[in-house]
């Protein structure tokens, strides 16, 4: 399919669908870009729940996190 035929089809769409096509194109472009992966683990979160460690068990926290989803 060449660019001209794509342009003809795009121009035949109403404006709201043209926006959807543009969103989809941007989505496809974002999938193509390689994702950057950190090579080291980040432990800045460590100790973040230390203030509540005696209030909840790990099982209670797990159940609470399932409710938040």
- Residue ranges of the domains in the chain? 3-68
At residue 42, the pLDDT reads 77
Convert the pLDDT of each residue in 5-15 to its tens digit: 999 999 999 99
Number of neighbouring beta carbons within 10 Å of residue 29: 9
- CA 51, distance to chain mean position in Å, is 31
Terminal-to-terminal C-alpha distance of the chain: 43
Residue 54 CA to residue 61 CA, distance in Å, equals 12
> At which residue do the structure tokens 């769409």 appear?
13
Are 56 and 64 spatial neighbours (Cβ–Cβ below 8 Å)? yes
Residue 33 CA to residue 27 CA, distance in Å, equals 10
Convert the pLDDT of each residue in 22-68 to its tens digit: 999 999 988 887 767 667 777 888 888 788 778 888 888 888 888 88
């Amino acid at each position: 399919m060449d660019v001209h035929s794509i342009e003809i089809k795009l121009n035949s769409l109403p404006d709201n669908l043209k926006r959807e096509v543009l969103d989809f194109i941007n989505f496809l472009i974002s999938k193509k870009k390689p994702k950057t992966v950190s090579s080291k683990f980040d432990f800045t979160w460590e100790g973040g729940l230390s203030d509540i460690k005696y209030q909840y068990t790990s099982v209670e926290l797990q159940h609470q996190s399932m409710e938040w989803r």
